[in-house]
Amino acid sequence: MHADLIGLGAIVLLAGLAARLGRRYGFPTVPCYMLIGIVFGPGTPGPVFVEHPEDLALLASLGLVLLLFHLGVEFPAEQVLGSGKRLFIAAGVYIGLNVSAGLALGFALGWGTSEALVIAGALGISSSAIATKLLIELRRLTNAETPIILGIIVIEDMFLAFYLALLAPVLNDSGSTADFIVDLLVSFGFLVALFALARWGARAIALLLDTREDELLAILMVGLVVLVAGVALEVGVSEAIGALMIGLVVSRTTLKERVEQLVLPLRDVFAAVFFISFGLTIDIGDLGGVAVPVVIAVCVTLVTNMTAGIVTARLFGFNQRAATNIGLTVLGRGEFSLILATLAIAAGLDERIGPFVALYVLVLAIAAPLLASQSKHFARFVSDRLLRSRWRFVQSETMSTACMHQDQMEVTETDITVCQQCIDDGGTWVQLRLCMKCGLVACCDDSPARHSRAHYEDEHHPIIQSLQPGADWQYCYVDEILVREPLGRSRTG
């Protein structure tokens, strides 16, 4: 018992130190945790801190459950459902290309249908943590394509719930076709039941958890999450999907913000144990046998991501730089790929799945930040013919190609030639601006009263147009850029 505690403490401490070192050089934490598990596990020569990885199974399972629960709690359902059609098309293209390529690779490797489906998911779902971290570190949060990247990541998370439900009967090894259909219906039935609970039962869950004391809220929350995850596992659905869905339920309660704050440190600690535990199951001798498939998988992922980036840029009228930014920012794979591999290992699938996903995640964890930081060089190889943007890569940066609020450009002309607010106040103006959302005419920022900006701050109508004779430029207050429309859309004013 003492040896087990010493080994666990030592390997978690080393994982934390490795992650801290990795962060200094811009690497994500997940591969660092996994690498420490591999290096100090029983499958690698040298010191071994945990002889039997199965001893950490319960802690690792708790890490998986809390990781997916937190994802569900912070999932912006309203934002996703309110997104434009183009965003769903872009996300569908990204997911479709990557999952299809992963499925084709899985069948080409000849490892079996179940393994192919796991590989499809591992290759098809990017790491939201890595992508978000890259956007922050590369200072691209204000780029025009960034809301699209974040939207694709969020829709991917939603897709994960359905994919896990689809995968559950496959991993359960349903015998006949009838058994498979029954298991599939049970999985999706459980999913629908939790969706219904999120829609109509959030108040009851809030009453169950509600307390002013954070200590009691944390205990009640963990108990509920583990219970639902266990029930999900009992009915043949992954504990991961149970945790994700109960997180969606909690996200619709008034306790959402408190729960997010309380679960975050628990998630980080136990998720680290989950990734370390995954690394402990990897025998370093097995990595050589999957090296060639991993190289192929990485190349395939790079091609599909760049293709999806170009398609998305074309949909939104972006230029080459934005296309490569999109494709390379979401290149990293991490927590979700490892979750799928863990489920595959637990289901007794081909033993090569674990080493394959481990090496694949490690390679992309290193490659994604390096390639994303150099996206401007890759942009030069994207032909103008593939995009609808009038603005060539060499002529402009992504921040000035298009804004994300052009769907609110409803008014393009007016007969008003005065700032009525200035007249009412007895003031004067320099130039006039037209609010393209509601048609208000107000004075510019060079005028004493700056009524146009005040209108934006009060009403949040984003785009104005100059009414100065000979000037037809438009400006977005939100993105703080001149609005340049994508090719194929003509102005009516």
- The pLDDT, as a whole number, for residue 202 is 82
- The pLDDT, as a whole number, for residue 395 is 31
H or E element: which one contains 481?
strand 481-482
Q: What are the residue ranges spanned by the domains of the chain?
A: 2-385, 404-482
- The pLDDT, as a whole number, for residue 173 is 67
Q: Which residues contact 194 (CB under 8 A, 6 or more apart)?
A: 228, 242, 245, 246, 248, 249
- The pLDDT, as a whole number, for residue 80 is 58
**400 — phi, psi (to 5°)?**
-115, 10
Other C-beta atoms closer than 10 Å to the C-beta of 191 total 22
Burial class (CB in 10 A: 0-12, 13-18, 19+), 224: middle
- First vs last C-alpha separation in the chain: 77
Q: Which residues contact 335 (CB under 8 A, 6 or more apart)?
A: 30, 67, 127, 129, 271, 275
- The pLDDT, as a whole number, for residue 397 is 38
- The pLDDT, as a whole number, for residue 81 is 59
Q: How far is residue 145's CA from residue 142's CA, in Å, rounded to a whole number?
A: 8
Identify the CATH assignment for 404-482 out of 3.40.190.10, 3.40.50.2020, 3.20.20.70, 3.30.40.10: 3.30.40.10
Q: Token digits for 55?
A: 């001893």
Cα-based distances in Å from 456 to 102, 204, 205? 46, 40, 39
Nearest by Cα to 60 from 17, 24, 12, 23: 12
- The pLDDT, as a whole number, for residue 486 is 40
Taking 50 as the pLDDT cut, the residues of the chain under it are 389-402, 485-493
Q: Token digits for 468?
A: 């100065």
What's the CATH fold of domain 2-385?
Answer: Na+/H+ antiporter like fold (1.20.1530)
At 99-138, the pLDDT tens digits run 999 999 999 998 888 899 999 999 998 887 778 777 766 7
Cβ atoms of residues 419 and 447 within 8 Å: yes
Cα-based distances in Å from 391 to 304, 395, 401, 486? 24, 6, 7, 9
Q: How far is residue 79's CA from residue 162's CA, in Å, rounded to a whole number?
A: 19
CA 180 to chain centre: 30
- The pLDDT, as a whole number, for residue 34 is 86
